[in-house]
Amino acid sequence: MRYIAPKDAADLDAIETREWLDSLDYVLQSGGPAKVARLLRELTIHARQNGVKLPFTANTPYINTISADEQVLMPGSPDLERRIKSLVRWNAAAMVVRANKAEEGIGGHISTYASAATLYEVGFNHFFRGHEHRDGDVIFFQGHAAPGIYARAYLEGRIDETHLENFRRETKAGGGLSSYPHPWLMPDFWEYPTVSMGLGPIMAIYQARFMRYLEDRGLKPQSNSKVWAFLGDGETDEPEALGAMTLPAREKLDNLIFVINCNLQRLDGPVRGNGQIIQELEAAFRGAGWNVIKVLWGREWDQLLAKDRDGVLVKRMGEIVDGQYQKYAVSDGAYVREHFWGVDPRLLEMVKHLSDDQLKKMTLGGHDPVKVYNAYKAAMEHKGAPTVVLARTIKGYGLGEAGEGKNITHQQKKMNEDELRAFRTRFGIPISDAEVGKTPFYRPAEDSIEIKYLRERRKALGGYVPTRKNRSEPLKTVPNELFEEFYKGTEGRKASTTMVFVRLLSKLLRDKDLGRLVVPIVPDEARTFGMEALFRAVGIYSHAGQTYEPVDMDTLLYYKEASDGQILEEGITEAGSMSSFVAAGTAYATHGVNTIPFFIYYSMFGFQRIGDLIWAAGDARTRGFLLGGTSGRTTLAGEGLQHQDGNSQLFALAYPNCVSYDPAFAYEIAVIIQDGIRRMYVDQESVFYYLTVMNEQYAMPEMPKGAQEGILKGMYKFRNASKPDAPLRAQLFGSGAILPEVIKAQEILESRYNVSADVWSVTSYTELYREGHAAERWNMLHPGDKPRVPYVAQCLKNAPGVLIAASDYVKAMPDAIDRWLPRPLVALGTDGFGRSETRASLREFFEVDYRYVVVATLSALARDGTIDASVAAAAMKAHNVNPDKANPAVS
């Protein structure tokens, strides 16, 4: 056999490869892509059968998904669009630079928008449909790109120079602009908050699904609307960003388009310096069943790729890691020629006609409007799956020496005069050298072709985006009949507040007006809360209906899935469920539909786990009811440390527009929910509700006369002391499942210790706290006027005796109202980690059962000198309370 020198082996390899490629080209030309695909599939099978181990890959080569041949021409005027984009770029940069001119700069970001400008402008000029369009879109803008969105709104004449000047100066007269998308702060402009990274993508996914839900249930006309979510490549590391990615593919949500701005950088440095974020994302999304469109290279590269007969260029493109690509972005053409092209003479040959300067200027796909247009067009037309556009860009594009592609670019907020001049020149902004240092904003005249073009484009596409407004008709009334039954109590029958809530929910669902608007949401906990009867009654929503015979078909309460099902049974995802809650609770603005979401979950996995999404819900002016089920540190027996919630009421206090309650009785729940629907859907207040509901069963009493107002304000007298003139007096506060313990303590105190106590049901420490502080603040600002008296103080004005509060939450709750009480109170609460035990043992452990209420009362009376300490000590003995017991807060 003839010895083949290594060099010849390489040559032979090349010849062989060439022959195979030629054959493939022949099949492609004669039989088309489908035939090539079939042939490759068969080749793969054949190779496998013969023992060839093919490595798994979910990737395609590192080139554009849409080839140059498939590309269409872009409609409209590319020149005008480029000019408009340049103006937006300038104004976006100018507003940030001006906001940071002063010593005490107030931040802002230039480089995120600089990299994403084309991605947005192509959308604004050709794709994003406003709410006046029958297929109006929902768009989640990347938070840090906000300056660009403002700069465009300025050109559109929707915001003026004062606004731009007051970017991040929101308290300024004339109006400021919020740092990021915040509907709470700019309710006519922003629709969805996105700046907490990862929340935009997951909310977008569930928004797309909720749009289908509204259409399938006939609450909204069928449409071709899309949900667009713009996100950063670094952002995809947030678990929420990709955590729900299988849902839209499974549900074939072709109304969803993600656009990931792959500038290969995040805040500190490269996203994947030693790898390729685009390929990583491609594999993940393709694996999950998405339509993936890579937009990596601009048009200049098409000619080079056409010359790449041997695939050397494609191979070279695919072997460079992102850190190195970033290096090319900041280097000159000579460096790129040497290091990128110089590794193979065939590559050098390909670019020998290009100067170093031309090499340097070869644009990336995400900066080429034609490439981006084609990607969006394909995304709009794709059927049966969501689309992700992976667009490659350069962070800080256009900033040149001021930061383009550099690791510091995310934090770049200032530009010196030279840098501004270069930026101005690069984008052709008509500002003179003399003026440029002042970074003036620039808007062409109203009748200029740029402004006319931009307005005309938005008009054709259904109005400006983003625009937010309430598009729904308020409900007229909340029918009383639905709630009255609960005022009567259960006549001795035992029920839990969860059962009460579920019964109320079932009634609401059956109501002829309200029923269809109710959206029950559960993360795989319906059986936990005894809601399974609803499966059959209203069905579980599934676009596909039910394509199988459910295993419990022969039972009354079978697991019924239906395309017009009403329940959103989300599976084990509180984050996903919360995103549905946001979609349903903002539909009054987004879709003009007053849907009323009720999201019930394990209370520990709410504020504690997905608090940031709840915060975003508040920002988005979401309406609806969150129900913290199985709540109470001692009421949920057995489940232990990770489940037993004694915190959520405290967390809820910090959410400004969250109205929270810890109700004990059926009528309290009825009053709160009835009033909640009124406030949110009749009066259109931007609040949402949080109610904790429990699984302990006890008899539900009848509502005391006139209790409604107090229930809503946060406290009311549930039961009077039987001997108001007794010498020993106490005021006992109880909440939620601990209220029955307090009532029991009242009886023991009266019968055994001659202490006569009033019992108050405290439904909401947070409401009392807020009202008290509001009164105090008013008093501070009006020193000469008659002071306002907080509601708590009014309730307790002449109340005699010691004050004892017990709840299943941390002691900070009652402490929050202490300042407005006539005397300091004694707080009993559940500070500390929970543990698995029975209910009674837990209450003993956390010192919140009736015995501790008795002991705390007697002990407080002894401290006051009203009784002898020995009485309290004897009571402790009688009730087995060990004074040397370890402190549960720290054990």
Ligand X SMILES: Cc1ncc(C[n+]2csc(CCOP(=O)(O)OP(=O)(O)O)c2C)c(N)n1
> Which residues form the interface with ligand X (CB under 6 A)?
112, 115, 144, 195-197, 232-235, 261, 263, 265-267, 271, 395, 410
Q: Is residue 337 classed exposed, middle or buried when 0-12, 13-18 and 19+ CB atoms within 10 A define those classes? A: buried
247 to 266: interface string for Mg ion, x by CB under 5 A: ----------------x-x-
Residue closer to ligand X (CB basis): 152 or 395: 395
Task: Please report how close the Cβ of residue 121 comes to ligand X at its closest, in angstroms.
Answer: 16
Distances 112 to 258, 327, 411, 604 between C-alpha atoms, Å: 17, 18, 10, 36
Nearer to Mg ion, 198 or 232 (CB): 232
Report the C-alpha dihedral over residues 297, 298, 299, 301, rounded to 10 degrees: -40
Give the total of residues touching Mg ion (CB under 5 A).
5
CB of 410 to Mg ion, least distance (A): 8
Binding partner of residue 185 among Mg ion, ligand X, none, CB under 5 to 8 Å per kind?
none
Complex with Mg ion: residue 269 or 740, whichever CB lies closer: 269
Q: What angle do CA 165, 171, 174 make, to 5 degrees?
A: 55
Q: Which is nearer to Mg ion, 197 or 759 (CB)?
A: 197
Q: Where are the alpha helices (DSSP H) in 663-755?
A: 666-677, 708-713, 739-753
Please choose which of ligand X, Mg ion, none residue 197 contacts, taking the beta carbon within 5 to 8 angstroms, the exact cut-off set by kind: ligand X
Residue 138's binding partner among Mg ion, ligand X, none (Cβ under 5 to 8 angstroms by kind) is: none
- The nearest distance, CB 712 to Mg ion, in angstroms, is 47
CB of 239 to ligand X, least distance (A): 10
Q: To the nearest whole angstrom, how small is the minimum distance from the Cβ of residue 232 to ligand X?
A: 2
Q: Could you tell which of Mg ion, ligand X, none binds residue 294, using a CB distance below 5 to 8 A set by kind?
A: none
Cα–Cα distance for residue pair 464/477, rounded to 1 Å: 34
Report the alpha-carbon distance of residue 566 to residue 564 in Å, rounded: 6
Least CB distance to ligand X at residue 231 (A): 7
Q: Which of ligand X, Mg ion, none has residue 110 at its interface (CB below 5 to 8 Å by kind)?
A: none
Positions 204 through 233 that interact with Mg ion (CB under 5 A): 232-233
Residue 426 token pair: 């690069």
Tokens of 312: 């050397």
- Least Å from the CB of residue 143 to ligand X: 6
Instruction: Check if the beta carbon of residue 876 is closer than 8 Å to that of residue 883.
Output: yes
Asked if the bond preceding 270 is cis, omega within 30° of 0, the reply is no
Q: Please state whether beta strands 698-699 and 494-495 pair in parallel, antiparallel, or not at all (unpaired).
A: antiparallel
812, interface contact from ligand X, Mg ion, none, CB < 5-8 Å by kind:
none
Rule CB under 5 A: is residue 201 a binding residue for Mg ion? no
Q: Which does 181 bind (CB under 5 to 8 A by kind): Mg ion, ligand X, none?
A: none
Minimal CB distance to ligand X: which residue? 232
Angle, vertex CA 120, rays to CA 171 and CA 404, nearest 5: 85
Q: What is the DSSP letter of 791?
A: H
Cβ distance to Mg ion smaller for residue 294 or 633: 294
Tokens of 234: 């670094």
**Between residues 197 and 848, which has the closer beta carbon with respect to ligand X?**
197
Three-class SS of residue 601? strand
Q: Work out what residue 112 binds among Mg ion, ligand X, none; the CB cut-off runs from 5 to 8 Å by kind.
A: ligand X
Of 234 and 710, which has the nearer Cβ to Mg ion? Answer: 234
Rounded Cα distance between 265 and 405, Å, is 8
Half-sphere exposure of residue 670: CA atoms within 13 angstroms, side-chain side = 26
- Of 623, 624, 631, the C-alpha closest to 601 is 631
Judged by beta carbon, residue 120 or residue 846, the one nearer ligand X is 120
Q: Which two tokens stand for residue 162?
A: 């004062």
Q: Which two tokens stand for residue 357?
A: 């300067």
Nearer to Mg ion, 204 or 796 (CB): 204
Torsion of CA 289, 291, 295, 301, to 10 degrees: 100
Q: Which is nearer to ligand X, 189 or 230 (CB)?
A: 230
Q: Closest approach of Cβ 608 to ligand X, in Å? A: 17
DSSP designation for 69: G
What's the min distance (Å) between Cβ of 887 and ligand X? 36
Least distance in angstroms from the C-beta of 282 to ligand X: 16
Residues 264-283 interacting with Mg ion (rule: CB under 5 A) = 265
Distance between CA atoms of residues 356 and 335, nearest Å: 9
The residue ranges that bind Mg ion (CB under 5 A) are 232-234, 263, 265
